[in-house]
Amino acid sequence: LALGPGITCAPLPWPAAPEKKRTSGHEPMSERRADVPMPSATTPQKVQAIPLSALALSWSRAFFFNPNAVGALFWAAAGAIGILALLLRPWTFGALLTLAAVAGICMVACAVRMTIGRRLPPWTLHLEVAIATVLVSVVAWVGLSKGIPFADLYIWVGLFAALYFRPPAVVAHVGFTLAAYAAVLVLGSTTADPFMAWLALAGTLVLASVVVLGLVSVLRIAAMEDPLTGLANRRLWDERLEQEMERARRTGAFLSVALIDIDSFKETNDTLGHAYGDHLLQQSARAWQSEIRGSEDLLARLGGDEFALLAPSSDEIGIRLLARRLRRALPKEITASFGVATWDRTENGRELLRRADSAMYTAKQAHHRAQIVPPTG
């Protein structure tokens, strides 16, 4: 369905028919990298060694992006500290039973996180942080009689909360932790200056939580943002598409997408240089951002000269009108091809994007004479 120069709407999917070989222009997603030769079974392949730094980065990313793994580590470390404390210091019978029980609970919690943590709902992490605060309070009260600063373990609670929870939840957990430590100091009156002890821990805990929360926020933004245009990147696009499809499935709302490809961008880069190509991408992003619906729509740069628009609550007519506005908003020296598709409630995200990509290819074929021309003067 042609919607004007450079815009094509994907029809709803019909039973697959034989598809003609595409020989020029933009390649659809399903056919990209088809020209890459496959290695022969008889040809020995050179195996490249992976740098140790790359392996360490990959491992640390996989580990720290997994709150279950980090939670299991925290529980295991806390249990190990409890066992060492039992072995290295003499305790009364009551204190011995208390520390043994706390160490046992920590080890059980570690085992739970390692085995079924991925299947547990997210709110269980909040419950475990609250339980950890109570357990630290118990051992901190026991440690007062021996002068052992178990209260330092409260810092772990703040660090974990700042790493994986939203700011309101971090404030709640830190507040609960400080209230729990105040109760410990009141009940265990052996400390010479309870207020200064509480103030020192409170300052350290709050400062550490704020620093970690700030760093996590910066890293989260950097991981979800395209550095050249300031738009969302492919990772954020994939996450939001999955979330919006689930929401549309649950509520019955419409959901549409548009794929956008700058025309003749490779030739522009080759002729006028990459700096000018980057300038065109930034101009396009700024022009489109003024046309979308604030935080409801999501505009992303998927890579190179390819952009994508996620439009929740937009039906076929709405996404066509939005694509027209985006095309008209472009500066006069830039042209682009648009392919739009509306979710049919049966396909997955990849299939939805494939239909939009096919529509964009059709639009580019009809629009192939369009050129990006340099500004005059």
Higher pLDDT, 163 or 223: 163
Average of per-residue pLDDT values in the chain: 82
List residues bridging with 340 in a β-sheet.
9, 258
Place of tokens 């350290």: 204
Share of the chain above pLDDT 90, in %: 43
Cα distance between residue 313 and residue 292, in whole Å? 13
Say whether pLDDT at 113 is over 90. Answer: yes
Alpha-helical (H) ranges within the chain are 52-64, 67-88, 93-116, 123-144, 154-164, 167-187, 194-224, 234-251, 265-272, 274-289, 316-329, 349-366
All residues at 6 or more sequence positions from 21 whose CB lies less than 8 Å from its CB, including other chains: none
With contact defined as beta carbons under 8 Å apart, do 317 and 304 qualify? no
The edge-to-edge listing of strands for the beta sheet with 336-342 is 7-9, 336-342, 255-262, 306-312, 298-303
Say whether pLDDT at 373 is over 50. Answer: no
All residues at 6 or more sequence positions from 313 whose CB lies less than 8 Å from its CB, including other chains: 253, 254, 255, 296
CA distances from 254 to 241, 242, 296 (A): 13, 14, 13
Alpha-helical (H) ranges within 225-315 are 234-251, 265-272, 274-289
Return the amino acid letter for 218: V
Average the pLDDT over each of 121-135, 168-182, 211-225, 299-313 and give the range with the smallest value: 211-225
Cα distance between residue 55 and residue 52, in whole Å? 5
Q: What is the pLDDT of residues 288-339, one digit of tens each?
A: 988 888 778 999 999 888 999 999 989 999 999 999 999 999 888 888 899 9
Q: Identify the three-state secondary structure at position 279.
A: helix
What is the pTM for the complete model shown?
0.60
List residues bridging with 307 in a β-sheet.
260, 301
Higher pLDDT, 328 or 190: 328
Cα distance between residue 261 and residue 65, in whole Å? 32
Residue 362 burial (CB count, 10 A): 20
pLDDT at site 33? 41
For the chain, the maximum distance between any two Cα atoms, rounded to a whole number of angstroms, is: 89
Look at the chain and count its residues: 377
pLDDT at site 47? 47
Phi-psi region of 283 (alpha: psi -120 to 50; beta: other; left: phi over 0): alpha
All residues at 6 or more sequence positions from 212 whose CB lies less than 8 Å from its CB, including other chains: 158, 159, 162, 163
Place of tokens 């700030």: 214
